[in-house]
Structure formats: C-alpha cells, structure tokens
Amino acid sequence: MHKAQGKYESVILITMAILAMVTGAWFIRMTLSFPETLARTKGVEKPFTGDIPVDKVRQAIELARADSKLWSPPIRNNKSVPLFKSVLLLLKFSEPNNTIDMFTETPQIRPPMTNKWLRESNLPKIGDTPAYLIPNVGDLDADSDGFSNREEFEQGTNPTDAKMHPPVTDKLYLVERIAHNHRLILRSSNPPFQVATPDDKPRKNWFVNPGDRFGVGGRFIAGKLEKKVVPDPRVGERDVSELQVEDTVRKNNFTLILGVETNIAEYEAAFESRLKVRESVKAMKGDNFRIPSWPDTTYKVIDIQADSAVISPLNSSGAPAKEIIIKQN
C-alpha cells in the first residue's frame, strides 16, 4: 500500500512540473511578441503663424535680471541657519525684500509685542490666518475680557484667559471734577453773629452765638469769635474779626474772617468705565462707589483734583488698600 501511495505522489509531482514548464514557455513567447502589439502614433506638427515675439522675450529676460535678489539666510546666535533646517520666516510687508525670522526677537513683526510672545501666547487664528500675520492683532481681544492683546502683553496677563486680565481700573477714567460750592460770609462781629450762606436754596442769613448750629441740617457749629483789627489808611482801622466754625460733615474746623467770602467747595468725581461698554459713575470725595459691571470690588474716593482722582479699593475689613491714580481722559 505504501508503494502505491509513493507512485501516486510521483505522478502528481511530474504533472505539476510539466504544467510549470508549459506555462513558462507560454510567458516567454508572449514577452517576445509584446513589441508587435504596441500601436505607434506620430504627432502632427502645427505650422507657426505670425512673428516671433523677440522684443517680449528680451523684456522678460531684462525684468528677471532686474528683480533678481540674493538670498540671505536668517542669522541665529551669530550663525547662518543651514538651508536644510526648517525656519518660520515671515515677509515684512513694508519691505518686500526683507524677511523676519519669528524665532529671533529682532526685528519685531508686531511691536511692542515680542515675536516670542506672539509665538507662544496661543492667540486664535482668524480663518486659516495665524494671529501674528494679522496687522491689527494687538488691537484684538482674544478672550473678550475688555482688554486688547497689546494691553495684556504690557501687563503680563494671559490674553486667552478671561479670568486673567489687567486691573479693571486701567479702564477707569476721570471725565470731570464737579464743584459743589458752599460759600459762607461773616457779616458782623457782634453777637449774635450774622453768617450768610448764599448757596443755600433759598439763600439765608443766620444769627448765631457760640455753640449754635446753622446751615442746612445744622451742619455747622459756631465757635469762639476773636476780635481783630488792622490799620486801614482810609478809615484808620478795619475790623477783621475771626469766627471759628466746626464742620460736622467733613469733621474739621475752619475760620471765617469778617467780610471775606470762604468757599468750602465739595468736589464730586464723574468717572467712566470703558471696559466692555461705557459705564458712568459719580462719587463725592470720601464716598464709596462700585463699577456697575464689576460690583465685587468697592472703591473709596481719596482725593479729587482738576485732572486726576485718587481712589482705593476696600479690603475685606472695609479699610482702604493701595491707592490708585485715575487720570482724566
């Protein structure tokens, strides 16, 4: 039985070998006859009509020569960057033949913002345009917190995080110092002393003795009167007596001189916040106020000058903290 199986396997091998030889011979024949199966076609030449544009060709050659520029590789660490190294280069728009290497700090493409800051601040693209290619990228507000990218750069805050921004008082301006006049005039030096308050509505004359209150709401308290005279060439002597007065609102004392108008004007600051929208707020000297869009912080008006005001944020205990100068604009 083993002999029969051996003969059967030999027959299969011989048959396979014969098939392989026949197949090989067929492929060789097909290969030899392959060139004859290709169809050769000949192109048809079209005749040229018209004159050869020699002048145009010469102009094109001259233009190419005139506009040719030598390539200058960017310099890093006082060495030329190899040609096979990838470098982020930008064309400087004001100088078409000059390029800027964004991995160096000079020249700056968007001053005062540094090239490094523009590369690493993750400013969003506009469409497919990177932020540093946008001419007014410094004026944009990437995180919509009311501060431009340039302002965030100058303050060292994150331009893509609305929770990290410069102080909101950077956008607060003094629009106007409003004077609330409060004039007082001592008209007599004999008790009861006559004191006029012409800015009261209606204007009034008060007759007071030491210790008496006068003014709207009893704001003022009359004190001691000191008799004084000075030489006067016209009448010999002139009465310049002085009346001490206590201001219960300002918590201070001042002096009224007979016949001399004294104005203890109170000033009010008209502020304007220009963060996201324009918001107006007014506060008297010594009063507290809040910016409407940022109500978490309370500020106290420390002083009001003609062209500036001094304010201070109140801490958790209600005490003034660091003073901030708000300029007029």
What tokens does 250 get? Answer: 């300002």
Highest mean pLDDT among 42-46, 118-122, 207-211: 207-211
Q: What is the share, in percent, of the chain residues with pLDDT greater than 90?
A: 51
- Give residue 138's pLDDT: 94
Q: Per-residue b/e over 25-41, b at no fewer than 16 CB within 10 Å? A: eeeeeeeeeeeeeeeee
CB 148 within 8 A of CB 160: no
- Cα separation, 115 vs 100, in Å, equals 10
Q: What is the mean pLDDT of residues 161-187?
A: 94
User: So where are the chain's domains?
Assistant: 84-164, 169-176+268-327, 182-263
Highest mean pLDDT among 49-53, 56-60, 104-108, 206-210: 206-210
CB 192 within 8 A of CB 211: no
Q: What is the mean pLDDT of residues 94-106?
A: 65
- Spatial CA neighbour of 193 closest among 277, 255, 285, 102: 255
- Give residue 204's pLDDT: 92
Written in H, E and C, the secondary structure of 88-108 is CEEECCCCCCCEEECCCCCCC
Of the two residues 98 and 236, the one the predictor is more confident about is 236
For 6-10, 60-64, 181-185, 311-315, which range has the lowest pLDDT when averaged over its residues? Answer: 6-10
pLDDT band at 186 (very low <50, low <70, confident <90, very high): very high
- Chain segment 108-121, per-residue pLDDT in tens: 888 999 988 998 89
- Spatial CA neighbour of 275 closest among 178, 162, 177: 162
Q: Which long-range contacts (CB under 8 A, 24 or more apart) does 152-156 make?
A: 153/112, 153/113, 153/114, 153/117, 153/121, 154/112
Question: What single string gives the DSSP state of each residue in 203-270?
Answer: -EEEEE-TT-EESGGG-EEEEEEE--EEEETTTEEEE--EEEEEETTTTEEEEEEBT-EEE--EEEEE
pLDDT band at 70 (very low <50, low <70, confident <90, very high): low
**DSSP helix, strand, coil percent of the chain (3-state; round to 5):** 25, 35, 45
Q: What is the mean pLDDT of residues 255-273?
A: 95
pLDDT band at 258 (very low <50, low <70, confident <90, very high): very high
- Give residue 64's pLDDT: 72
Return phi, psi of residue 14, to 5°.
-65, -40
pLDDT band at 51 (very low <50, low <70, confident <90, very high): confident
